[in-house]
Copies of this chain bind each other. A is one copy, B any other.
Amino acid sequence: MKEVAVIGVGQTKFGKRRDASLSELAVDALKDALEDSEAEKREIKFLSVGNFGLSSEDITPAALVAEQAGLQGTTTMRCEAACASGSAAFYAAWLAVSSGIFDIAVALGVEKMTEVETPTMIEILGRAGSYFWEFHEFGVTFPAYYALYATAHMNKFGTREEDLALVAVKNHKYGARNPLAQFQNEITVEDVLSSRMIAWPLKLYDCCPISDGAAAVVLASKEKVKELGVDTPVWIKGIGVSSDTSTMGNRANFIGLRSSIEAAQLAYKMAKVEAKEIEVAEVHDCFTIAEILAYEDLGFCKKGEGAKLIREGETEIGGRIPVNVDGGLKAKGHPLGATGVSMIVELTKQLREEVEPSRQVPLKKYLALAHNVGGTGQYCYVTVLGR
């Protein structure tokens, strides 16, 4: 198993991107990632494409993206793990290099969601759960799945609607400092609490948006990093993945995601680090409650103490473990296939100390963590990065 580093990253602006097609978004991100790396396009022989699909007329996007990017002939495939599709593509590219078969590989994530009409994106997402029972028979949509977690957490630990709102407020605060974010406006707790009810206790501002966008990363083996003379390689220290039932009715409880807990343990073990050593994290805040669950499931605090963490400002810059200081899914946006790759883009820039100064996290150990959930925890991919 070879050591693998991130040597180039690129990302488009997330948001309503009526100006660009799926492949145009992909090519933009890829171009940026290649320019950011020391690699030449002709060296790229492996390209994995994270894409959920169903939201585009391009139903087999990997070859299309390869072609548009001038990477025809590349070994390519689409990787899909629902909302963790970007992480699945990152995982495949990591395998490709760690196996020694390729010394360089690209993982690209892309999604075009805002132009979907029929069936609506809400229905498509709802079908990503337990289709036959919970969506079709009982009409449970995605916000409702997470509302089950929110109400259980509130009931057991006294988490309040105001705590959930604080997550949205924090993530909008940092989104406003990130030029690539979909939402660049700060909001208040009152804005969140008074926004339209979606699935109690989740209101409109507790939910991440529907987004278009793409992100890409170039990976290289240790030998290739040396050969190219890369200044600041960011090493993949550990990756853990787990999966869980699609059926909410079969989950053991609603106060955390089993797949998050398992994936984090695997990643920490491979990276030989502890949760408390992580200095900056990207976590899967598709809904505000999801970020609070993640704090606990990833070991940033004990189970039940997530609300306390956000209340005390510990997940802001200056706090114990700054989380989603690029705006997160909530404010940066959540183009499904792009999200997992975008997390790696952000953390690579953080570890290189290259983000906007107003949202750069101060680092000592240079250890970062990405946490990407697929569905309501059917998939979880956790990656530990370090300098």
Contact = CB atoms under 8 A, between A and B. Distances in A.
Interface of A: 1-2, 52-54, 57-60, 62-64, 66-67, 71-82, 85, 88, 91-92, 95-96, 98-101, 124, 127-128, 131-132, 241-247, 259, 262, 374-375, 378-379
Contact of A60 (B72, B82, B247): B82
Contacts of A88: 77-78
Given A1-B100, A243-B63, A127 B378 contact: no
Given A60-B81, A63-B374, A99-B100, 16 more contacts: A59-B131, A62-B81, A63-B246, A64-B378, A67-B246, A72-B244, A72-B245, A73-B242, A73-B243, A77-B85, A77-B88, A77-B92, A78-B80, A79-B80, A95-B99, A95-B101
Contacts of A53: 53-54, 80
Contacts of A127: 57, 59
A92 B1 CA distance: 15
Contacts of A60: 52, 80-82, 128, 246, 374-375, 378
Contacts of A96: 95
B245 A67 contact: yes
Nearest to A76: B243
Contacts of A52: 60
A-B pairs with the 10 shortest C-beta distances? A63-B378, A99-B99, A75-B241, A77-B88, A95-B95, A78-B80, A1-B100, A60-B82, A98-B99, A77-B81
Nearest to A132: B57
A63 B76 contact: no
Contact of A62 (B78, B132, B379): B379
A123 to B, nearest CB: 11
Contact of A81 (B57, B76, B375): B76
Contact of A79 (B2, B73, B74, B79): B79
A59 B77 CA distance: 17
A246 to B, nearest CB: 5
A374 B99 CA distance: 24
- For the complex formed by this chain, how many copies does it contain in all? 2
B79 A78 contact: yes
Contacts of A92: 77, 79, 92, 95
A43 to B, nearest CB: 16
A78 B81 contact: yes
Nearest to A82: B60
27 contacts: A1-B99, A1-B101, A57-B131, A57-B132, A59-B127, A60-B82, A60-B375, A62-B80, A62-B81, A63-B82, A63-B374, A66-B243, A67-B244, A67-B246, A72-B245, A73-B243, A73-B244, A76-B81, A76-B243, A77-B92, A79-B79, A79-B92, A80-B80, A95-B96, A98-B99, A98-B100, A98-B101
Contacts of A85: 77
B98 A128 contact: no
Contacts of A74: 242-243
A19 to B, nearest CB: 17
A100 B100 CA distance: 10
B58 A131 contact: yes
A74 B78 CA distance: 19
A95 B48 CA distance: 13
Contacts of A73: 242-244, 259, 262
Contact of A243 (B1, B62, B80): B62
A63 B242 contact: no
A309 B383 CA distance: 52
A56 to B, nearest CB: 9
Given A77-B81, A80-B77, A88-B77, A63 B375 contact: yes
